[in-house]
Chain A
Amino acid sequence: MLPSAYNSARYVPSLVVNEQMEDGAVLAAIARKDPAAMETFFDRYRVLCYSLALRVLADPQDAEDVVQEAFVNVWRSAPTYRPDASSPRSWLLSIVHHRCIDKLRNRRARPKVVDLDGGMHMSDGHDVWREVADSLTAEEVRTALGHLPEEQREAIELAYFGGLTQTQIATRMAVPLGTVKGRMRLGLHRLRELLQPVERQTILE
């Protein structure tokens, strides 16, 4: 005799999704169209996704719409997720961010033209970085951003959280376009260094 909860059509007895399951396994269950896995994934990341969307869009209704679209997108695209390319969390948040920018610029979702992940392109030191990235806390990322030269941090934040284009940022910062590109590039490379374990120790002290 099954517990009464299993009488609900929502439950598929052969697939047990629980709170301890790793993100990768949850996403694999989503790829098999298991609604219980979707609930688990949503509950894990709803706050982070909604907060990111709200930060970029500054509009609660738009933020809700984007989060909903992003999770539906996860449901559809889970079979194409590549665990070796990015963590489930990163993958989900990049979908949320893309949808935010689409909404902000009032454009339709752009189909992915270049499938970098498909060619198994990884950066040098990808595995090391992956471990770093998976263990990072919000505090560590914020601290590292705070250690960037001000103009680099500003260029990155105006783009990522402000949703501005490089041209708009150049106008805002009153510098040539080339300078903006350089600041973004140097800032991102520096951020990567700052988040490596050795430097992280130093800046957190």
Chain B
Amino acid sequence: MNAYPHDLAAPYVLDALDEDEAALFDQHLTECEVCRQEVVALREVVEVLPLAVDTLQEPPADLRQRVLEAVAEEQHPPATPVRPSAAFWNRGWQPYVAAAAVVLLAVGIWSVMLQTHPSGASAYDRAVVQALATGARVSTLDGQGASGAVVQPRGEKNAYLLVGGLPALPDGRVYQAWFMRGTQPVSAGVFTSSSGQVVTLTASRPALGYNLAAITVEPGPYGSRQPTGRKVLVGSLHA
């Protein structure tokens, strides 16, 4: 039982593994119930260790102000409504709703991609061409400096998202994809992107039956229940 990597539970909870080992053990935890249980039990003990700090020190007085200001800044873009207001969804959508009949061709995607992301264009192109070749429905998403497409393959359950040109986000932020029917958005998955990289990911649901898709910036690592952040890509979905 204590053979590698089972014996990594204690150093894991004490954060004494280097990144590679931690990644390996993370993977192991998805497969080993015994280690999961040990990690949970040991972590409970580790959680009381901070109490043993021997010297208690008051932080500098201005830290309080800085923390509260940093938190206030988080509020700014935007004021995190529990449900999106009608205005949030209507703002900027109309052109896409109106253009719902626009049919998208591979050539169109190419030109967009080649103009804005020469480095990432080929991977994106290949993926789109492959998708079209299999008879998948492809719908584009538009945004400033970035491009994306929602691909719904024939006979496959979930849709794919192809995204290129999105900038890397600061710590604690993620991109979140949404599909929308009427005025009700549902999450289609959360992802991150390094600058300019082409991202291909499986949406957490089929695109069928939805008429709009968007990608917003949301708090990480889990995203939001409803969109709260700015829209970086938006487009209509083919029926």
Point out residues on A near B: beta carbons under 8 Å.
Answer: 33, 35, 38-39, 42-43, 46-52, 54-55, 60, 63-64, 67-68, 71-73, 75-77, 80, 86-87, 90, 93-94, 96-98, 101, 105, 107-114, 116, 119, 121-124, 126, 129-130, 133, 136-138, 141-142, 145, 156, 159-161, 163-167, 169, 178, 180-182, 184-185, 188-189, 191-192, 195
Do the beta carbons of A136 and B51 come within 8 Å of each other? yes
Q: Distance (Å) between the CB of B64 and the closest chain A CB? A: 6
Decide: A192 near B59, CB < 8 A? Known: A46-B64, A138-B53, A142-B54: no
**Cβ contacts under 8 Å, A108 to chain B:** 171
**Cβ contacts under 8 Å, B64 to chain A:** 39, 42-43, 46
Decide: A159 near B172, CB < 8 A? Known: A110-B22, A178-B7: no
Q: Distance (Å) between the CB of B46 and the closest chain A CB? A: 7
Do the beta carbons of A101 and B15 come within 8 Å of each other? yes
Complex CA–CA separation, A43 to B59 (angstroms): 11
Complex CA–CA separation, A68 to B60 (angstroms): 12
Do the beta carbons of A80 and B40 come within 8 Å of each other? no
Q: Distance (Å) between the CB of B50 and the closest chain A CB? A: 4
**Cβ contacts under 8 Å, B172 to chain A:** 72-73, 76, 109
Q: Distance (Å) between the CB of B39 and the closest chain A CB? A: 7
Q: Contacting A80 at CB < 8 Å: which of B7, B71, B222? A: B222
Q: Contacting B44 at CB < 8 Å: which of A71, A105, A126, A165? A: A126
Decide: A181 near B10, CB < 8 A? Known: A50-B63, A97-B15, A188-B42: yes
Q: Contacting B67 at CB < 8 Å: which of A63, A72, A122, A123? A: A72
Q: Contacting B50 at CB < 8 Å: which of A48, A71, A192? A: A48
Complex CA–CA separation, A33 to B67 (angstroms): 14
Do the beta carbons of A188 and B13 come within 8 Å of each other? yes
Nearest residue in A to B79 (C-beta to C-beta)? A33
Do the beta carbons of A47 and B47 come within 8 Å of each other? no
Do the beta carbons of B75 and A166 come within 8 Å of each other? no
**Cβ contacts under 8 Å, B75 to chain A:** 33, 35
B132-165 CB contact bits vs A (8 Å, 1 = yes)?
Answer: 0000000000000000000000000000000000
Complex CA–CA separation, A70 to B19 (angstroms): 20
Nearest residue in B to A137 (C-beta to C-beta)? B51
Decide: A185 near B10, CB < 8 A? Known: A38-B71, A123-B44, A138-B52: yes
B10-47 CB contact bits vs A (8 Å, 1 = yes)?
Answer: 11011111110011001101100000110111101111
Complex CA–CA separation, A24 to B115 (angstroms): 51
Interface of A is mostly: helix
Number of B residues with CB within 8 Å of any CB on chain A: 60
Q: Contacting A50 at CB < 8 Å: which of B19, B46, B57? A: B57
Do the beta carbons of B48 and A141 come within 8 Å of each other? yes
> Does B68 lie at the interface of the complex (its beta carbon under 8 Å from any beta carbon of A)?
yes
Do the beta carbons of A195 and B48 come within 8 Å of each other? yes
Nearest residue in A to B69 (C-beta to C-beta)? A68
B182-219 CB contact bits vs A (8 Å, 1 = yes)?
Answer: 00000000001000000000000000000000000001
**Cβ contacts under 8 Å, B55 to chain A:** 51, 54-55
**Cβ contacts under 8 Å, B221 to chain A:** 111-112
Q: Distance (Å) between the CB of B216 and the closest chain A CB? A: 15
**Cβ contacts under 8 Å, A184 to chain B:** 10-11, 14, 16
Decide: A160 near B14, CB < 8 A? Known: A33-B75, A90-B47, A136-B48: yes
Nearest residue in A to B52 (C-beta to C-beta)? A141
Decide: A188 near B59, CB < 8 A? Known: A35-B72, A38-B68, A141-B52: no
